[in-house]
Structure 1
Amino acid sequence: MARTELSRQESAVTVLGGPTAVIDIAGLRIVSDPTFDPPGPQGYLTKTAGPACAERSMGPVDLVLVSHDLHPDNLDVRGRAFARSAPLLLTGPAAAARLGSPAVGLAPWAAHTVRRGDGQGDLSVLAVPAVHGPENGERDADGNVNCEVTGFVLSGRGIPTLYVSGDNASVRTVAEVSRRVGDIDVALLHAGAARVPAKFEGRPLSMDSRRAAAAAAVLGSGVVVPAHYDGWTHFSEGLSDLKLAFHEAGLSSLLHAPEHGTWVHLPR
């Protein structure tokens, strides 16, 4: 049963189920990839569990991040309404054109600043690339595999730098983010090895568990919070696979995956 209230935190992240996460940082409440519909079929995908917290429990939200708008496991009907009711929605350029106001489209490596709620200046939101499928998958006219997907890096004075991967299956892309951005303190990684038989011969559309562990090693993050690994039938790997992969890589201490709706407090 969804909780009725999600208390404000100084610096913390919680995953609500599927890809949806709440990030309280710099005096702001940020929600990424909102999905609030109940379980059931959604086109060619099937949702098996609802979120740990409903929309009404979010309270005032300052910013919504949408990695992509074309797949219901990342933006469903209620999630879309929630995102469009926020004061600001950041996403990719094509998604922003489809979603309309208050969406702002950011091409890869473009940044947008948001006035912090703690009075300490601005939060920088940097859009970074993502590859929603195999590296050698067929690309569209804009160079995207599967569809346009945007990751984000949040940073600012006195707060941890946080990377939200979006549905990215490419460790090479993670390495590029690390090289261009520098230190990433916290990584919110979409995992689950999502597979759709009709796409790319059933190869993963998002990171499998071993790639997630490899991405964590490349980033050098002290905290890794996994998302997008349960709640839908097309996720082929779950939390037990993630724990095993991080254990085998010697990175278990980095992985933070408490019960959905439970806060992971971030380093200063």
Structure 2
Amino acid sequence: MSTTGLAPQECAITVLGGPTTVIDIGGLRIVSDPTFDAAGPHGYLTKTAGPAVDEDAVGPVDLVLVSHEAHPDNLDERGRAFAYAAPLVLTGPLSAERLGRPVIGLSPWTSYTLPRRDGGGDLTVLAVPAVHGPEDGERDADGNINCEVTGFVLSAQGLPTVYLSGDNASIRAVAEISRRIPDIDAAVLHAGAARVPAKFDGRPLSLDGRGAAAAAAVLGADTVVPAHYDGWAHFSEGLSEIELAFHEAGLSSVLRVAAHGTWVQLPR
């Protein structure tokens, strides 16, 4: 694990391991799904590797996005502490209720606006739907499959529009997002085909490689950054399967893979 600070970027994304992603955009530093614990057991899940960069190296942040807090592979103990120390945390309504104040919950298709630090106006964070399992999976008392999960779309004038999928397995949800927001430039897709044998006959709870390639095609994004495909034992696919799926779909040119903690630059 590196403790060297992540230098500020004008417009870039880096994955730290697992789902944890840092987005520098509009002079803001945004972190999604912070997980900073060392490897080890987390209830029925097992973490196999810590992040490439620790929370001290990430430094001050302006916003933390939490797709869901129900599972430790998306918000572990040190990740929670990191989120609570941030000036602003956005998540879904049920997750916000469980995390408590001052976390803000956004229902799908509602947004939050915060001022950019580069003097360019505001950045809008739009909450979008996600389905954490197969479409025909049994729904819980709140109408969710597995649990509430929220994706996000970041947009601002003069900057690329960025979609963060969260633990979504639904191409139907991606199609609806693309229909409503047809100009997505970059996407961070959770693509490790997470599986838990006791849930939904062991079917994927997040996108597999082929699903990620299909999502990329539907979105039409020029840049796709894969995340949440390593660091935990319940992922059934890794980077090689993702790369193969994009190759077979003829979409290798949009897939951007970099070592964890290394920046992927986004075109302005």
TM-score (ref. length: structure 1): 0.99
In 1, the alpha carbon distance for the partners of 2:129 and 2:143 equals 11
**1:85 counterpart = 2:111:** no
Does the 8 Å CA contact 2:4/2:57 hold for their aligned counterparts? yes
Q: Cα offset for 1:4? A: 2.2
Tell me how far 1:8 sits from its aligned partner: 0.5
Match of 1:70 in 2: 70
Q: Measure how far apart 1:59 and its partner are.
A: 1.4
Q: Secondary structure at the match of 1:194?
A: coil
Q: 1:4–1:57: 8 Å Cα contact kept in structure 2?
A: yes
- Spell out the pairing of 1:158-169 with structure 2 (5 A cutoff): 158-169=158-169
Contact kept? 1:84, 1:99, Cα under 8 Å? no
2:225, 2:257 within 8 Å by CA — same for their partners in 1? yes
Structure 1 distance, partners of 2:3, 2:240, is: 25
Question: Are the counterparts in 2 of residues 86 and 102 from structure 1 also a CA contact under 8 Å?
Answer: no
Give the match's secondary structure for 2:78: helix
- Partner residue in 2 for 1:109: 109
Provide Cα deviations, 1:231-251, integer angstroms capped at 9, x if missing partner: 000000000000000000000
For the residue of structure 2 that corresponds to 1:145, the secondary structure is: coil
Distance in 2 between residues matched to 1:217 and 1:3, nearest whole Å: 37
Contact 1:84 1:101 in 2 (8 A): no
The letter for the 1-side match of 2:188 is: L
Q: Distance in 1 between matches of 2:71 and 2:254?
A: 29
Instruction: State the partner residue of 1:7.
Output: 7
Q: Secondary structure at the match of 1:217?
A: helix
What does 1:49-64 align with in structure 2 at a 5 Å threshold?
49-64=49-64
Percent identical residues = 74
Q: Distance in 1 between matches of 2:142 and 2:71?
A: 18
How far apart, in 2, do the equivalents of 1:20 and 1:143 lie?
27
Query: What residue is the counterpart of 2:236 in the other structure?
Result: 236
Q: Deviations over 1:40-87 (max 9, x none)?
A: 000000000000110001111000000000100000000001001100
Q: Aligned residues, how many?
A: 268
Aligned partners of 1:192 and 1:229 also within 8 Å: yes
State the alpha-carbon separation in 2 of the partners of residues 181 and 250 from structure 1: 23
Q: Distance in 2 between matches of 1:161 and 1:102?
A: 26
**Structure 1 letter corresponding to 2:71:** H
Question: Which residue pairs with 2:124 in the alignment?
Answer: 124
Structure 1 residue 102 displacement after superposition: 2.5
Deviates more, 1:73-82 or 1:138-147: 138-147
Aligned-residue RMSD, C-alpha: 0.6
Q: CA deviation at 1:156?
A: 0.6
Deviation above 4 Å: which 4+ runs of structure 1? none
Structure 1 unpaired stretches of 5+: none
**1:121 deviation in Å?**
1.0
1:98 Cα deviation from its structure 2 partner: 1.1
Residue by residue, what CA displacement relative to the aligned partner does 1:178-226 show, whole Å, maximum 9, x if unpaired?
0011211000000100000000000000001000000000000000000
Cα separation, 2, equivalents of 1:37 and 1:163: 25
Q: Normalising by structure 2, report the TM-score.
A: 0.99
Contact 2:3 2:56 in 1 (8 A): no
Q: Given that residues 129 and 149 in structure 1 are in contact (C-alpha distance below 8 angstroms), is that contact kept between their aligned partners in structure 2?
A: yes
Q: Which residue of 2 aligns with 1:133?
A: 133
**1:263 equivalent in structure 2:** 263
Report the equivalent of 2:144.
144
Separation of aligned partners in 2, 1:252 and 1:60? 34
For 1:129, the aligned partner's letter is P
Letter in 1 for 2:254: L
Deviations 1:25-53 (A, max 9, x none): 00000000000000000000000000011
The separation in 2 between residues aligned to 1:242 and 1:174, in whole angstroms, is 18
Q: Work out the CA distance in 2 between the residues paired with 1:78 and 1:64.
A: 13
Displacement of 1:257 in angstroms is: 1.1
Amino acid at match of 1:137: G
